[in-house]
Amino acid sequence: MTSLTAPLRRLRARGTAPVGEPAPPMPREVWVLVAASFVIALGYGVVAPALPEFARSFNVSITAASAVVSAFAIMRLIFAPSSGRLVRTLGERPVYLIGLLIVAVSTLAVAFARSYWQLMVFRGLGGIGSVMFSVSAMGLIIRIAPPAIRGRVSGLYSSSFVLGGISGPLIGGALIGFGLRVPFVVYAVALFIAIAVVYVQLRGSHLATIDATPSTPTMRLPDALRIGAYRSALFTAVIFGWVYSLRVSLVPLFLATALHQRLAIAGLVLATYACGDVMAMIPAGRLSDRIGRRPLLIIGMSVIAGGTAVLAMSHSILLTFASTVVAGWGTGMVSPSIQAALADIMYGHGRGGPVLATYQMSQDLGTVTGPLIAGVLAQTISYAASFWITAAFAACAALAWVFVHDTRPKTHAVAAVPTEMAGPD
């Protein structure tokens, strides 16, 4: 492969985009993926309230019931490298559809599980399909999004997932009244519909089809790891997954045991976090297109660190709500900006399955290990200790972006990946 630094030198020599140049229109394919993302997240939220209770219906312990949730994340983590290789071999669209199909079939199988171990196996298979469509969807968004509005596209895509996640538990809670198996059937049917829509809408799309000729450049993982911004993205992904899972797993326990609040209050706190997240996502995505990804990532991770530190010092429910919405804003700044940064890094290098899979695996690693480490700290020391260490890691992630170049292309028509980011780091 040719030198990775030459393209950006040519890119920088071109200067900045003309002031006032209109942004390109949002491609139809983006709206298709955004709609599918909403349905997927909605369905995930639909089954979330039912899953632990469904596992308990097989007369297993609370720990065993929790393991069903962990099995999904663990299988995502284990199969992330394989999904990257599949994307590189088959392309994003086939892997996306196959991944969705695996999740749909496994979810339907969960609805008819007759034992705890059947439930574990079917849910684990769902994790395999989940990482397949996650990695391939990210690759599709990277290639489909016009360079000038990558941040805007990333913000729209991320917000659709969060909105689906907020709405899902409300629907799932209502469906449980018809039986613990009903939410899984509803989710499976919704996924089959999403598969059909995506297949029809992306069939024949020139944007969703990649040139697979031998001359098509491909970004290898060792090349990506030489880029400072990519290494910072991997570290940020670990902490980002840690922070998110901590909010879902430990904060409700903190509210119940330390602040003596009802479970309903925990739900409101999580909803507040998600609302702050959504409020910031689309504006942050647009802003990252104008001023760059790096400032939003530094500020966003710093805001997450500050909000988590305030939570560590919180002794009242009002302060907890305030710190939660602040941390949500930080999450909303980071999510579209880091996806746009990955798109900048990948642009012009064809399929980058292993590069994207490694990023996804980093986030899943944080999601799996974060609650475990934070939980041990909370049990052996205090909740405050777990929040303080999380805040410190978030601050380190912000600092990691200080020492790398921004990835945002300086023209709207970028011919190659901005890889001189591997500069001073």
Q: What is the 3-state secondary structure (H, E, C) of 301-349?
A: HHHHHHHHHHHHCCCCHHHHHHHHHHHHHHHHHHHHHHHHHHHHHHCCC
pLDDT tens digits along 101-120: 999 999 999 889 888 888 88
How is residue 298 written in tokens? 């530094």
Which of 177, 202, 227 marks a domain boundary?
202
Dist. CA 94–CA 87, nearest whole Å: 8
Identify the band that residue 9 occupies on the pLDDT scale cut at 50, 70 and 90.
very low
Residue 412 has pLDDT above 80, yes or no: no
Which of 175, 202, 229 marks a domain boundary?
202
> For position 311, which CATH number holds?
1.20.1250.20
Could you tell me how far CA 269 lies from the centroid of its own chain?
Answer: 20
| Average pLDDT score over residue span 318-322 | 83
Dist. CA 149–CA 180, nearest whole Å: 42
Running DSSP on this structure, what letter comes out for residue 148?
G
Cβ atoms of 416 and 7 within 8 Å: the answer is yes
Residue 149 has pLDDT above 50, yes or no: yes
Dist. CA 309–CA 326, nearest whole Å: 11
Considering the domain architecture, whether residues 103 and 223 belong to the same structural domain is answered as no
Mean pLDDT is lowest, of 5-14, 125-134, 345-354, 403-412, for 5-14
- Whether residue 36 is contained in a domain is answered as yes
| Average pLDDT score over residue span 45-67 | 73
In the block, tokens 């907020």 appear at: 166
- Whether residue 267 is contained in a domain is answered as yes
Note the pLDDT of residue 280: 86
Note the pLDDT of residue 422: 38
Identify the band that residue 12 occupies on the pLDDT scale cut at 50, 70 and 90.
very low
Considering the domain architecture, whether residues 56 and 196 belong to the same structural domain is answered as yes
Considering the domain architecture, whether residues 195 and 296 belong to the same structural domain is answered as no
Note the pLDDT of residue 8: 37
Mean pLDDT is lowest, of 6-10, 113-117, 228-232, for 6-10
Count each helix (H run) and each strand (E run) in the chain, helices first: 15, 0
- Whether residue 260 is contained in a domain is answered as yes
Interhelix angle for 293-312 vs 317-346, to 10°? 160
Running DSSP on this structure, what letter comes out for residue 38?
H
Considering the domain architecture, whether residues 282 and 420 belong to the same structural domain is answered as yes
Dist. CA 281–CA 151, nearest whole Å: 9
Residue 423 has pLDDT above 50, yes or no: no
Mean pLDDT is lowest, of 272-281, 329-338, 351-360, for 351-360
404 Cβ contact partners less than 8 Å away, ≥ 6 residues apart = 228, 229, 231, 232, 294, 421, 423, 424, 425
Note the pLDDT of residue 63: 63
- Whether residue 317 is contained in a domain is answered as yes
Note the pLDDT of residue 421: 38
Note the pLDDT of residue 139: 76
Cβ atoms of 239 and 397 within 8 Å: the answer is yes
Residue 21 has pLDDT above 60, yes or no: no
Considering the domain architecture, whether residues 172 and 296 belong to the same structural domain is answered as no
More confident residue, 352 or 410: 410
Considering the domain architecture, whether residues 302 and 373 belong to the same structural domain is answered as yes
Note the pLDDT of residue 416: 37
pLDDT tens digits along 369-394: 777 787 778 778 888 888 898 899 99
Note the pLDDT of residue 26: 72
Considering the domain architecture, whether residues 282 and 187 belong to the same structural domain is answered as no
Considering the domain architecture, whether residues 62 and 161 belong to the same structural domain is answered as yes
Mean pLDDT, the chain, whole residue set: 77
How is residue 377 written in tokens? 């700290």
- Whether residue 10 is contained in a domain is answered as no
- Whether residue 323 is contained in a domain is answered as yes
Note the pLDDT of residue 234: 92
Dist. CA 292–CA 297, nearest whole Å: 9
CA distances from 269 to 48, 224, 249 (A): 17, 38, 12
| Average pLDDT score over residue span 237-265 | 75
Considering the domain architecture, whether residues 267 and 412 belong to the same structural domain is answered as yes
Considering the domain architecture, whether residues 235 and 192 belong to the same structural domain is answered as no
| Average pLDDT score over residue span 225-251 | 84
Residue 330 has pLDDT above 60, yes or no: yes
Helices (H), 203-262: 221-225, 228-257
- Whether residue 21 is contained in a domain is answered as no
Considering the domain architecture, whether residues 110 and 166 belong to the same structural domain is answered as yes
Which of 162, 177, 202 marks a domain boundary?
202
Nearest to 230 by CA among 345, 400, 310: 345
Considering the domain architecture, whether residues 193 and 80 belong to the same structural domain is answered as yes
- Whether residue 139 is contained in a domain is answered as yes
Nearest to 136 by CA among 91, 72, 200, 89: 91
Four-point Cα dihedral 106, 119, 112, 188, nearest 10: -30
Note the pLDDT of residue 90: 79
Nearest to 352 by CA among 221, 210, 233: 221
Domain count, the chain: 2
Mean pLDDT is lowest, of 15-19, 30-34, 126-130, for 15-19
Q: Which amino acid is at 127?
A: G
Q: Which amino acid is at 157?
A: Y
Mean pLDDT is lowest, of 20-24, 267-271, 293-297, for 20-24
Q: Write out the residue range of the structural domain in which residue 169 sits.
A: 27-202
Dist. CA 289–CA 11, nearest whole Å: 16
Residue 93 has pLDDT above 90, yes or no: no
